[in-house]
Amino acid sequence: MSFNTFGRVFRFTTWGESHGPAIGAVVDGCPPGLALSEADIQPFLDKRKPGTSKFTTQRREADEVRILSGVFEGRTTGTPISLLIENTDQRSKDYSDVARAYRPGHADYAYDAKYGFRDYRGGGRSSARETASRVAAGAVARAVIPDVDIFAWVSAIGGDAIDYADFDAAQIDQNPFFCPDPAAAVRWEAMVDAARKDGSSLGAVVECVASGAPAGWGAPLYAKLDSELAAAMMSINAVKGVEIGDGFGAAALRGEENADAMRPGENGPTFMANHAGGIAGGISTGQPIRLRVAFKPTSSILIPVDTVTREGEASQIITKGRHDPCVGIRGVPVVEAMMALVLADQYLLHRAQCGE
Amino acid sequence: MSFNTFGRVFRFTTWGESHGPAIGAVVDGCPPGLALSEADIQPFLDKRKPGTSKFTTQRREADEVRILSGVFEGRTTGTPISLLIENTDQRSKDYSDVARAYRPGHADYAYDAKYGFRDYRGGGRSSARETASRVAAGAVARAVIPDVDIFAWVSAIGGDAIDYADFDAAQIDQNPFFCPDPAAAVRWEAMVDAARKDGSSLGAVVECVASGAPAGWGAPLYAKLDSELAAAMMSINAVKGVEIGDGFGAAALRGEENADAMRPGENGPTFMANHAGGIAGGISTGQPIRLRVAFKPTSSILIPVDTVTREGEASQIITKGRHDPCVGIRGVPVVEAMMALVLADQYLLHRAQCGE
Amino acid sequence: MSFNTFGRVFRFTTWGESHGPAIGAVVDGCPPGLALSEADIQPFLDKRKPGTSKFTTQRREADEVRILSGVFEGRTTGTPISLLIENTDQRSKDYSDVARAYRPGHADYAYDAKYGFRDYRGGGRSSARETASRVAAGAVARAVIPDVDIFAWVSAIGGDAIDYADFDAAQIDQNPFFCPDPAAAVRWEAMVDAARKDGSSLGAVVECVASGAPAGWGAPLYAKLDSELAAAMMSINAVKGVEIGDGFGAAALRGEENADAMRPGENGPTFMANHAGGIAGGISTGQPIRLRVAFKPTSSILIPVDTVTREGEASQIITKGRHDPCVGIRGVPVVEAMMALVLADQYLLHRAQCGE
Amino acid sequence: MSFNTFGRVFRFTTWGESHGPAIGAVVDGCPPGLALSEADIQPFLDKRKPGTSKFTTQRREADEVRILSGVFEGRTTGTPISLLIENTDQRSKDYSDVARAYRPGHADYAYDAKYGFRDYRGGGRSSARETASRVAAGAVARAVIPDVDIFAWVSAIGGDAIDYADFDAAQIDQNPFFCPDPAAAVRWEAMVDAARKDGSSLGAVVECVASGAPAGWGAPLYAKLDSELAAAMMSINAVKGVEIGDGFGAAALRGEENADAMRPGENGPTFMANHAGGIAGGISTGQPIRLRVAFKPTSSILIPVDTVTREGEASQIITKGRHDPCVGIRGVPVVEAMMALVLADQYLLHRAQCGE
């Protein structure tokens, strides 16, 4: 089965392949009356856009979004919002090898095993190019929850982590790595450049915080806020792990260390810590919602790897073409978008059952 | 919103509170003609059952399951299967403090913030007692995919990990910790006992492998196999992190280290490694499906923690009653059940679109 | 596939067979804080209960409902509400013929063709006994929309219609036919009794009105209010047709005859007519919501009909046992329940997107 | 809420307004490997296309469909199929009155009541123009179930029905009314022309038959085949009633008249009649699936009708512009499309649970 819709009440459906004429998303269930234009969406696409530095793929896409429906006189009408992004820099000739043999780490073999047939150009549907559609949809989601502030950053590349003592949110947009620690950004520049020159690639960790969501969002037991976030993040290309709050670190703690003690506050309790990442019992607590996402190294590398052909013969493959040496970097706006999309959906779900 | 159904085609809905008269699940979409009786389900419940050692809660529940529908003359009919487990050892008097003040780390405050009202007895709906319903449903799921072998174990408690050089699957059922490493089991006995005597608790890591699933299961892009597994695992009480394959470890690798090279095999490619955990592009590759789940330490501890009352006054709380000193241990059969439930659903979804 | 959940936000799942130990429903997504006890549900079940007159089946079921979860101290908690009704008067020996040959008009052959196997006792899952679960769930739905007044009646039996000039809502509960026209009730008594004595059965038309729903409920384009109502009604056993407002009558009108003209009113427009049945563009207009439902005659008759056996041999079958001579009569509380269930769901869906 | 996705496994999502730049559909869950190109879809759009005779709206739309994704080298890949149709003949100036006052019978007031705001141009989202997207999606559905033959016709206009003694399927495409009875077609020509000249409109009844579906499709109890068909048909603009098989006629029959007796046949039973319309217990019986759909007269008429303005003042409205004098006529390909879409979904759902 393919299943390309995400969300319960605020839903989006994406479509499109890396080398088709266009990609897009349909956002359904958006509240009416929200101010929305292409100008509200484009900055997020620009943040994700390829070709902006030598540390990302050299494919050049303008990634200009058009709103084809659901907005009238600058406001959402409550009907489905169709978003379209044309593909302009496909170079399908780059991918002839991929038609013949499976790229290890890519979805090539799995798609063939599933569908018996695939659009191999640039990874087709399994390409990370699809995430542009998510980023566009995510911008709509942000309009639904304007009081929630969402931002993400890269916290480690190739195992080299930032120092949280040097965390400076203002730095995130000042370097090509979405890195909040200037010293780490300098180190990463050398690391990523070296990997790129080696024809290799590096993994990364992305962290995201959403502040301003009130206590009470989440739909236990099977659409819990953390469960939906885990699904959302794990659906992103190259993601292999998700942690909420302290995540695996919590597994090494004792109960009293992990307890987020409470004291009386002006608007509900004040929490003395946030090991839980702002979620308890699958419901937001009003604290910042914190999560970490592990991106594997880009599977497209210039170093030959053993593989098999579609006919089952032994072969080797080098993935030429234009690729990100560290796909986690451009994952930052995608993680933010998925956070926004989950929270918008949970907000509306909560309002359905419990009112405003 | 509450949302208590999981799955797309093979679906289950759970209901029931810790201290209500009963809990249960309705399994819908099960293929007809499968042999099924209470005897096929009970062993999995017995594995999860409380009160079996001093390392789990002393609440005594027989956890006897009854099949109320969907099975006729020992075979499934394709209609909904209603499973019922009576609660027999509720002691609601133990929970009077909980009505008054919020237990940090528990869902108490979040449920009140969401619903304005809650069944506070034993955690009510947010209690891990609900996982018995999942385990029962999971036994039905196993009958749907009999060729898939699923087993889980505890790989770390309180930060103390097993040595994979000493991994022995036959050991898992030979100790109260589902521990495959006998030496670790000895260490954990002392650790968990000490934590219990201290009135404290410990976190744990559970790992799970499913072997025998063919290549091709998974529903990209928003019901990818790994995405569904992440949601399923994160919906379990006390879970804070999920990794597929190498997980966060992959984020520290280079592309050539992380590549699962392929060679020709008898039935499709043979993979030289399984960093990916048996999933590529959200679709199974035919390799074993591997994941890791982080459980936080049980939030119910006898050590006083600062908190607030429902009226917003400062207070302290000690969680008396009968609790697991390490809730991750009894998470093992729950993780297995969720793995089975996701795979059964994905198998049927795949069959829908692509045939057998 | 079997698919036993109805609703988008306010959802219910039913389970159980005619001759199993029990039947039931799980209601999910119910707002918290609503007063609810068995006493709020039982009257609706009593209205549907069999064996209350010679015009309904002689099966005697107390149809006593138990609430197993989701209610605490007399109020809903927002968690799933499990409702259980025990079967007490199964007489499975009555159904031995049904195991052998297919009853025309029943689901026997279709279930075998689908599942290859079925619980033939009393129709198993396809029995109208399941509708007791809907009626119980419907009572919960009514609590969600207390300002909406829903009532249904029988408007024709065996082609003999009531005279709307003699419509008296107070009469509906005064005769065993839910008939608002006393003269028609007298005629029907003779007709139904004659059909019963002949071993035959009669069809019926049920009408339902819901007043008090505000303008704005409905989820176009694929969960329109009328679309959801049509699905809900057509899912009831023996239903073969659904009309909203004038229904097929509108197909014979001219545009100016069918227009529901508007004049200024105190709270929004006043409509001069209600051909549309209170729904325009799939959204409620604030007028009463009106629909009609066609029930075929009960398929269980004592008159022999040609059929085939499971082995494909020619045969004849007489459906002995205890049956309703006019199944539409007991359809009245079921139609009301489905109306309530759809409206409760649409109310919450509307609130999700558009607020209160 | 707006909810613009239909289907459970084979799903489609539509978007777009009457006077926006384009409309479209995303079809998800389509099996891979099916031959599909624009040439397979265009004929169905041409059948529905406006402006082909004086009996339909004079709006001129080429309705040329483009496939933007999901098809590679002429075959479906199993990924979402994005279909786009540009709007080319919007004349928004025609609709200025509609911005001011509500057109009775239209969705104008209901949309304003729901969303507080609407795209009033040509009905915006509530326009029947959206049905072009369904027709395009329906053509994809037909490719999923190539052995099922689906066709529909108009059986009555303005209360004047065809004579089934003169039914000739070959005639359906030979007149502008999809009329299988040549004599009726002559009468309707005069009737519709007269209504058009009067500035009035007429209702119609459309019937549809699907042959070749095997026994066993349907997902009881809440995605029964007839329930899904009823929802699908009632979601079409202007539809007010749906009958399966004999529909309301069955409500006037006795049990023995309504029984579809069976005799042994070569491939399963042979049915002696088809009162049930090919569906029993919500599951197909292998007989032709028959249904009837009531279309109200077009609400856009040139005869003034009392109404109110957005500000709540009394007014009158004449709906100028280009409209169908009998919207049911162009409903024929839409009814066929919805039949195909439901059957394709039910086929895949059946395959999920029960295999091939």
Report the amino acid identity of residue D129.
R
Whether B91 has its CB under 8 Å from any CB of chain D: the answer is no
Tell me what pLDDT residue C94 has: 62
By residue range, what is the domain housing residue B41?
A: 5-354
Interface touch C32/A354, C-beta < 8 Å:
yes
Tell me what pLDDT residue B320 has: 78
Tell me what pLDDT residue A90 has: 74
- CB contact at 8 A, D321 and D201: no
In angstroms, the separation between the Cα of residue D125 and the nearest Cα of chain B is 27
Interface touch B32/D353, C-beta < 8 Å:
yes
Q: How far apart are CA A216 and CA A223, in angstroms?
A: 13
Tell me what pLDDT residue D94 has: 62
Interface touch A353/C348, C-beta < 8 Å:
yes
Four-residue CA torsion sign, B138, B33, B223, A205: positive
Whether A277 has its CB under 8 Å from any CB of chain B: the answer is yes
Give the list of residues 6+ apart from residue C21 with CB closer than 8 angstroms, or none: B66, B68, C86, C87
HEC profile for chain B?
CCECEECCCCEEEEEECCCCCEEEEEEECCCCCCECCHHHHHHHHHHHCCCCCCCCCCCCCCCCEEECCCEECCEECCCCEEEEEECCCCCHHHHHHHHHECCCCCCHHHHHHHHCCCCCHHHHHHCHHHHHHHHHHHHHHHHHCCCCEEEEEEEEECCEECCHHHCCHHHHHHCCCCCCCHHHHHHHHHHHHHHHHHCCCECEEEEEEEECCCECCCECECECHHHHHHHHHHCCCCEEEEEECCHHHHHHCEHHHHCCCEEEECCEEEECCCCCCCEECCEEECCCEEEEEEECCCCCCCCCEEEEECCCCEEEECCCCCCCCCCCCCHHHHHHHHHHHHHHHHHHHHHHHHCC
Residues of D with CB below 8 A from A9's CB? 1
Interface touch C351/A349, C-beta < 8 Å:
no
Chain segment D120-161, per-residue pLDDT in tens:
888 899 999 999 999 999 999 999 999 999 999 999 999 999
Question: Closest-CA residue in chain A for C219?
Answer: A29
Other beta carbons within 10 Å of C74: 10
Tell me what pLDDT residue C93 has: 64
Check whether B220 is labelled as a binding-site residue: no
Q: How far apart are CA C302 and CA C198, in angstroms?
A: 8
> Rounded to 5 degrees, what are φ and ψ at A107?
-85, 5
A187 exposure class (CB count in 10 Å sphere: 0-12, 13-18, 19+): middle
Interface touch D14/A124, C-beta < 8 Å:
no
Whether C231 has its CB under 8 Å from any CB of chain D: the answer is yes
pTM of the model: 0.97
pLDDT at B135 over 80: yes
Which range is most confident: A248-262, B49-63, C40-54? A248-262
- CB contact at 8 A, C189 and C206: no
Give the list of residues 6+ apart from residue D265 with CB closer than 8 angstroms, or none: none
Other beta carbons within 10 Å of A268: 17
Interface touch D125/A79, C-beta < 8 Å:
yes
**Residue position matching structure tokens 């036959």:** B170
Question: Closest-CA residue in chain C for D109?
Answer: C285
In this prediction, the residues of chain D whose per-residue pLDDT falls under 50 are: none
pLDDT at A57 over 90: no
Whether D31 has its CB under 8 Å from any CB of chain B: the answer is yes
Q: At what angle do helices D331-354 and D131-144 cross, to 10 degrees?
A: 40
Q: What is the pLDDT along chain C (356 residues), one digit of tens a residue?
A: 799 999 999 999 999 999 999 999 999 999 999 999 999 999 999 998 877 777 877 777 889 999 999 999 999 999 999 999 999 877 656 677 778 899 999 999 999 999 998 888 888 999 999 999 999 999 999 999 999 999 999 999 999 999 999 999 999 999 999 999 999 999 999 999 999 999 999 999 999 999 999 999 999 999 999 999 999 999 999 999 999 999 999 999 999 999 999 999 988 899 999 999 999 999 999 999 999 999 999 999 999 999 999 999 999 999 876 688 999 999 999 999 999 999 999 999 999 999 97
Q: How far apart are CA B137 and CA B149, in angstroms?
A: 16
The CATH number of the domain holding residue D14 is 3.60.150.10
Check whether A50 is labelled as a binding-site residue: no
Is ipTM strictly over 0.90? yes
Tell me what pLDDT residue C92 has: 58
At residue D42, the 3 state secondary structure works out as helix
Q: How far apart are CA D199 and CA A243, in angstroms?
A: 65
> Rounded to 5 degrees, what are φ and ψ at C143?
-70, -25
Please choose, from the candidates C304, C2, C337, C342, the residue with its C-alpha nearest in 3D space to the C-alpha of residue C138: C337
pLDDT at A193 over 70: yes
First to last CA, chain D: 37
At residue A215, the 3 state secondary structure works out as strand
Question: Closest-CA residue in chain D for B349?
Answer: D352
Q: Number of folded domains in chain B?
A: 1
C-alpha angle A28-A30-A32 in degrees, rounded to nearest 5: 130
pLDDT at A93 over 70: no
Other beta carbons within 10 Å of A83: 28
Tell me what pLDDT residue A50 has: 74
Tell me what pLDDT residue D348 has: 98
Interface touch B308/A284, C-beta < 8 Å:
no
Mutate to test the interface with A, among D71, D82, D120 (most CBs of A within 10 A): D82
In angstroms, the separation between the Cα of residue D281 and the nearest Cα of chain B is 13
Q: How far apart are CA B3 and CA B176, in angstroms?
A: 33
HEC profile for chain C?
CCECEECCCCEEEEEECCCCCEEEEEEECCCCCCECCHHHHHHHHHHHCCCCCCCCCCCCCCCCEEECCCEECCEECCCCEEEEEECCCCCHHHHHHHHHECCCCCCHHHHHHHHCCCCCHHHHHHCHHHHHHHHHHHHHHHHHCCCCEEEEEEEEECCEECCHHHCCHHHHHHCCCCCCCHHHHHHHHHHHHHHHHHCCCECEEEEEEEECCCECCCECECECHHHHHHHHHHCCCCEEEEEECCHHHHHHCEHHHHCCCEEEECCEEEECCCCCCCEECCEEECCCEEEEEEECCCCCCCCCEEEEECCCCEEEECCCCCCCCCHHHHHHHHHHHHHHHHHHHHHHHHHHHHCC
Please give the mean pLDDT across all residues of chain B: 94
Tell me what pLDDT residue C356 has: 78
pLDDT at A92 over 70: no
Please choose, from the candidates D106, D86, C220, the residue with its C-alpha nearest in 3D space to the C-alpha of residue A79: C220
Interface touch B349/D31, C-beta < 8 Å:
no
Chain segment B62-117, per-residue pLDDT in tens:
899 999 999 999 999 999 999 999 998 776 566 777 788 999 999 999 999 999 98
A258-268: average pLDDT:
93
Give the list of residues 6+ apart from residue B16 with CB closer than 8 angstroms, or none: B22, B23, B24, B85, B87, B125, B129, B130, B133, C68, C69, C80, C82
Residues of C with CB below 8 A from D257's CB? 297
In angstroms, the separation between the Cα of residue B86 and the nearest Cα of chain C is 10
Please choose, from the candidates C183, C173, C243, C164, the residue with its C-alpha nearest in 3D space to the C-alpha of residue C208: C243
> Rounded to 5 degrees, what are φ and ψ at A31?
-55, 150
Q: How far apart are CA A123 and CA A108, in angstroms?
A: 7
Q: For chains A and C, what is the number of CB pairs under 8 angstroms?
A: 44
